[in-house]
């Protein structure tokens, strides 16, 4: 029996070493490309910077400035950006879900060709797409030109570019094609026989959707929320190019602290609340979805 126990112990140790070896690339990646940079960011947030030099003077002065500058301007901007991110997420899902539903339930052939067409915008640089929308919605853009040409307006309309509404619109139309795929995957996994049974029992199309289709596609909805909410919360490229003064988001403040103010410690302190909110949101969504379902829907 003792020999058998030793053999079992050696096998278990070898299995443990095999698992550890298989996980080592992922652990290396997480440690060196995530945890260490975030750790450096956290350390810098307690330092100071003068004459372009980092000074290791430990203290909470950057966090105090974060909460007290202009009556909590940065905290208000953080909350505002979170609200905008939620609005973008809801808008993107509202567009993507009907498209994914149509492809899954109404298209008989070439479903994946439709998905490929929906993801066509991602074959072009996002910056180029933003500039294209500017040529369309700008003061001297194509939309104003045609509206004047047909006599709908006498002079170009203002307000279609350079505000938070523009940022929300661009991010919604930018993210919607991307999340069609996880929504489509979730809808494809629904057993059609369940819907047929509900129809046989007298449930109309609305009841079948609300009672069966929507609940069973909730993993795809949560994955879509995961994919849109977190990146759009820290977005700074689109607000910078299309937002103007009223379209400022928290990510722009973090970026400006590093590149405009050249205050890396203060920029690091600004990034910490963004990081905390992002980690909390990601953890909540992962727990709600389940890690396996998340990976299957990506």
Confirm whether 232 is domain-assigned. yes
Confirm whether 53 is domain-assigned. no
Same structural domain, 12 and 150: no
Same structural domain, 6 and 120: no
Domain count for the chain:
2
Specify the pLDDT at position 8.
47
Confirm whether 102 is domain-assigned. yes
pLDDT digits (tens, 9 = 90+) for 100-148: 999 999 888 888 888 888 877 777 888 888 989 999 988 888 888 898 8
Specify the pLDDT at position 15.
60
| Residue 261 to residue 28: CA distance in whole angstroms | 33
Whether the pLDDT of residue 22 is over 90: the answer is: no
The most confident of the ranges 11-15, 253-257, 283-287 is 253-257
Same structural domain, 101 and 129: yes
Same structural domain, 100 and 200: yes
Q: Residues 160-171: what's their mean pLDDT?
A: 90
Same structural domain, 151 and 18: no
pLDDT digits (tens, 9 = 90+) for 60-79: 999 999 999 888 899 999 99
Same structural domain, 146 and 200: yes
Confirm whether 54 is domain-assigned. no
15-24, 58-67, 170-179: the lowest-pLDDT one: 15-24
Confirm whether 50 is domain-assigned. no
pLDDT band at 11 (very low <50, low <70, confident <90, very high): very low
Same structural domain, 20 and 119: no
Residue span of the structural domain in which 35 resides: 1-44
Same structural domain, 29 and 177: no
Confirm whether 117 is domain-assigned. yes
Same structural domain, 229 and 93: yes
Q: Which residues pair with 53 in a beta bridge?
A: 50
| Residue 259: half-sphere exposure toward Cβ, Cα within 13 Å | 7
Confirm whether 198 is domain-assigned. yes
Tell me, what CATH number does 93's domain have? 1.10.3720.10
Same structural domain, 212 and 141: yes
DSSP 163: S
Q: Is 182 buried (19+), middle (13-18) or exposed (0-12) by CB count in 10 A?
A: buried
Q: What are phi and psi of 159, to 5 degrees?
A: 90, 0
- 221 near 183, Cβ under 8 Å? yes
Specify the pLDDT at position 80.
93
Q: Is 232 buried (19+), middle (13-18) or exposed (0-12) by CB count in 10 A?
A: buried
What residues contact 50, with CB distance under 8 A and at least 6 apart?
A: none
Whether the pLDDT of residue 294 is over 90: the answer is: no
Share of the chain above pLDDT 70, in %: 90
Q: Which stretches of the chain are DSSP H helices?
A: 2-30, 36-44, 61-68, 73-105, 111-118, 126-137, 142-149, 164-188, 192-200, 205-208, 214-216, 218-233, 237-238, 250-259, 264-289, 291-297
Specify the pLDDT at position 111.
87
Same structural domain, 203 and 253: yes
Q: Residues 206-217: what's their mean pLDDT?
A: 91
| Residue 291 to residue 285: CA distance in whole angstroms | 9
Q: Residues 79-102: what's their mean pLDDT?
A: 95
| Residue 28 to residue 287: CA distance in whole angstroms | 24
- Nearest in space to 212 (alpha carbons), one of 225, 227, 200: 200
- 74 near 155, Cβ under 8 Å? no
Confirm whether 17 is domain-assigned. yes
Whether the pLDDT of residue 89 is over 60: the answer is: yes
- Long-range CB contact pairs, 247-255, < 8 A, 24+: 247/162, 247/163, 247/164, 247/166, 247/167, 248/77, 249/77, 249/80, 249/81, 249/84, 249/167, 250/74, 250/77, 250/78, 250/80, 250/81, 250/274, 251/81, 253/74, 253/77
Specify the pLDDT at position 290.
73
| Residue 152 to residue 238: CA distance in whole angstroms | 30
Whether the pLDDT of residue 1 is over 60: the answer is: no
């Amino acid at each position: 029996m003792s020999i058998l126990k030793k053999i079992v112990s050696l096998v278990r140790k070898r299995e443990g070493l095999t698992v550890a070896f298989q996980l080592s690339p992922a652990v290396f990646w997480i440690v060196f490309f995530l945890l260490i940079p975030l750790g450096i960011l956290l350390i810098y947030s307690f330092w100071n910077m003068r004459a372009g030099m980092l000074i290791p003077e430990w203290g909470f002065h950057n966090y105090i400035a974060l909460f007290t500058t202009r009556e909590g301007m940065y905290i208000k901007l953080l909350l505002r950006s979170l609200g905008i991110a939620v609005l973008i997420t809801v808008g993107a899902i509202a567009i993507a879900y009907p498209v994914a539903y149509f492809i899954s339930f109404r298209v008989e052939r070439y479903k994946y060709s439709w998905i490929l067409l929906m993801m066509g915008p991602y074959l072009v640089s996002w910056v180029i797409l933003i500039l294209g929308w500017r040529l369309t919605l700008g003061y001297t853009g194509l939309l104003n030109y045609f509206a004047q040409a047909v006599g709908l307006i006498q002079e170009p309309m203002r307000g279609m570019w350079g505000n938070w509404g523009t940022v929300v619109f661009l991010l919604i139309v930018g993210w919607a094609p991307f999340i069609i795929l996880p929504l489509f995957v979730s809808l494809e996994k629904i057993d059609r026989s369940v819907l047929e049974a509900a129809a046989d029992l007298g449930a109309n199309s609305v009841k079948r959707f609300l009672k069966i289709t929507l609940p069973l596609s909730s993993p795809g909805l949560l994955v879509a929320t995961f994919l849109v909410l977190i990146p759009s919360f820290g977005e700074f490229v689109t607000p910078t190019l299309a937002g103007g003064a009223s379209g400022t988001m928290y990510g722009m403040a973090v970026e400006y602290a590093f590149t405009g103010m050249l205050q890396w410690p203060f920029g690091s302190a600004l990034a910490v609340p963004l990081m905390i909110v992002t980690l909390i949101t990601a953890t909540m969504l992962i727990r709600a979805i389940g890690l396996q379902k998340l990976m299957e829907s990506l």
